[in-house]
Amino acid sequence: MNAASAIGIGLVGYGHWGPNHARIFNGHPDSRVVAVADRDEGRLRAAENVIPFVSTMQDHRALLDHPEVDAVVIATPLTTHYGLVKEALQAGKDVLVEKPICYTAREAQDLCDLADQHDRILMCGHIFLFNAGINRLRQYIQDGTLGRVYYMAATRTNLGPLRTDANALYDLASHDISIFHYLLDSRPIEGSAWGETFLQHEVEDVVFACLEYPGQLLCHVQASWLNPRKERTLVVVGDKKMAVWDDMQPLESIRLYDKGLMRQPHYDSFGQFQLVLRDADVLIPKLPAVEPLKAQDLHFLECVRERKQPISDGAFSCDVVKALEALQRSLHRGGSRQRVDDGTRRHSVRTEPVAAAETR
Ligand SMILES: NC(=O)c1ccc[n+]([C@@H]2O[C@H](COP(=O)([O-])OP(=O)(O)OC[C@H]3O[C@@H](n4cnc5c(N)ncnc54)[C@H](O)[C@@H]3O)[C@@H](O)[C@H]2O)c1
C-alpha cells in the first residue's frame, strides 16, 4: 500500500465509464486514484482536469510500473480485457475489470489460474450483484416468498450506445446472465439464442436468448441497442408469488404481486383439481438508496484490504462467459440448443452479499 495507507488505484480506460470509477475511488478515504492510462491524449487531459495530482500515461505498462499503484481498475473495451488483466496480474496487482471479463471461458479460466498463482484479487464488474432491487429479489427467492420459481424474463433495451467489439449478447445480456446466476445460485444447462446484425457486419444488435437451469427453470433475455424504449426489467414468476424489477424506478424498483394460479379440489369429481386465480395485493418494498457502482467498488476495496474473495470473482465471471459462449454458438447455428460447458470450477455459493450490498 502507498504512504498514506490509502489503496493506490491505477485506472486503465477513461472513456465513458472510467470516470465513474475515478469519482468513487477518489471520493473514498480508503483509496486514491494515483494514475490513469488511456490511449487517447484527450481523455488524459480530461482526467487531469478532475483528478488532483494524478499521473497520466498512454501506455498501460507505465501505469503498472507506477510505484503507488496497488490495484488496477480496467474500463476499456472488451477486446483489451484479457491482455490487460493478464499483464496486471503478472505485475502483482489486484484487478477489477469491467464486464464481461473476456470473450471465452478458456481465457477466463486462464485469468483465474493466474490470479491464484500470484495470490491476487480478481473481480469483474457485474454491477447488478450490488443493486438493492436485485438483492431484494434474491432474498424473496432464498426465503421462499416466491415459492418455486418457474421462469424469469428480462428486457434490456435502449437506442444505443452501439459497440463494435461486443454484440448485444456480450455487452447487454451479460448483465442479465449474471443476475440469473446470482439470483438462482445455479448455472444453466443449455441455451439457445436468435439475433440479427441489422446495423453492423457480424455484430448482433438484437438478441433473444433463453437459458435452461436445473429444475426446468427457464430464463429469457431480450437485449438490444436498437429499440426506442430504455427498459431494464425482470419478471420473476413463482408458484406462490410473482415479482417485477424495474431499474428505471430505482427507489421503487420492486413490485411483489400476491398473484397466481392455485390448484383447488374440484367439487364434481373426487381427486380432481381446478386452477383458481389468486389476485391479491401488490407490495412495493422500501429499498435502501445505494449506488450500485459505489457498492461494487467499495466491495473491491474491502476484498483488497481483507484479502477476501469477491462475490463476482474470476470463477463467477467465467461461468457468465460459459453461458455467453453457448449462446453465441447458438446464434451462429440458427438458434439450436447448445450445452453450457459445466467445467470443473464452480462459484462458491455465498449469502452475505445481500445484506452487505444493502447496508453500504
Ligand atoms: N457496468 C456498467 O454498467 C458499464 C457501463 C458502461 C460500460 N461498461 C464497461 O466498461 C468498459 C468500457 O466501456 P466505455 O463505455 O467506457 O468504453 P469507451 O470506448 O467509452 O472507453 C474506453 C476507453 O479505453 C481507452 N482504451 C482502449 N484501449 C486501451 C488500452 N489498451 N490502454 C489504455 N486505454 C485504452 C479508449 O481510448 C477509451 O477512452 C467496457 O467493458 C464496458 O462493457 C460497463
User: Mind listing the pLDDT tens digit for each residue in 108-124?
Assistant: 999 999 999 999 999 99
Q: What is the mean pLDDT of the segment spanning 235-247? A: 97
Distance CA 113, CA 11 (A): 23
pLDDT tens digit string along 196-233? 999 999 999 999 999 999 999 999 999 999 999 999 99
Question: Which residues constitute the domain of residue 145?
Answer: 129-291+319-359
Query: What residue's CA is closest to ligand 1, atom 19?
Result: 15
Considering the domain architecture, whether residues 37 and 67 belong to the same structural domain is answered as yes
Ligand 1 center from residue 78 Cα (angstroms):
8
Considering the domain architecture, whether residues 286 and 138 belong to the same structural domain is answered as yes
Considering the domain architecture, whether residues 269 and 190 belong to the same structural domain is answered as yes
Q: What is the mean pLDDT of the segment spanning 43-48? A: 98
Considering the domain architecture, whether residues 249 and 285 belong to the same structural domain is answered as yes
* Residue at 166 is within a domain: yes
Report how far apart, in Å, the C-alpha atoms of 118 and of each of 68, 93, 330 are: 19, 9, 36
Of the candidates 226, 209, 127, the one whose C-alpha atom is nearest the C-alpha of residue 169 is 209
Map grid coordinates 435502501 to a residue. Answer: 288
* Residue at 344 is within a domain: yes
Q: Is 156 in the pocket of ligand 1 (CB under 6 A)?
A: no
Query: What residue's CA is closest to ligand 1, atom 2?
Result: 127
In which order are the strands placed within the sheet that holds 7-12? 55-57, 31-37, 7-12, 71-74, 94-98, 122-125
Considering the domain architecture, whether residues 277 and 177 belong to the same structural domain is answered as yes
More confident of the two residues 285 and 359: 285
Distance CA 238, CA 147 (A): 5
Q: What is the mean pLDDT of the segment spanning 28-34? A: 97
Considering the domain architecture, whether residues 79 and 221 belong to the same structural domain is answered as no
Considering the domain architecture, whether residues 15 and 134 belong to the same structural domain is answered as no
* Residue at 90 is within a domain: yes
Query: What residue's CA is closest to ligand 1, atom 1?
Result: 127
Amino acid at 47: A
Considering the domain architecture, whether residues 60 and 26 belong to the same structural domain is answered as yes
* Residue at 2 is within a domain: no
Q: What is the mean pLDDT of the segment spanning 145-171? A: 97
8-state DSSP, 200? B
Considering the domain architecture, whether residues 192 and 278 belong to the same structural domain is answered as yes
Name the pLDDT band for 348 (thresholds 50, 70, 90). very low
Domain CATH for 228:
3.30.360.10
* Residue at 193 is within a domain: yes
| pLDDT of 2 over the 70 cut | no
Considering the domain architecture, whether residues 192 and 323 belong to the same structural domain is answered as yes
* Beta-strand relationship, 71-74 and 338-339: unpaired
Q: What is the pLDDT of residue 252?
A: 95
Report how far apart, in Å, the C-alpha atoms of 57 and of each of 18, 64, 89, 257, 263 are: 15, 11, 19, 52, 66
Beta bridge partners of 56: 36
Considering the domain architecture, whether residues 201 and 304 belong to the same structural domain is answered as no
Q: What is the pLDDT of residue 188?
A: 98
Q: Name the domain count of the chain.
A: 2
pLDDT tens digit string along 255-269? 999 998 887 776 666
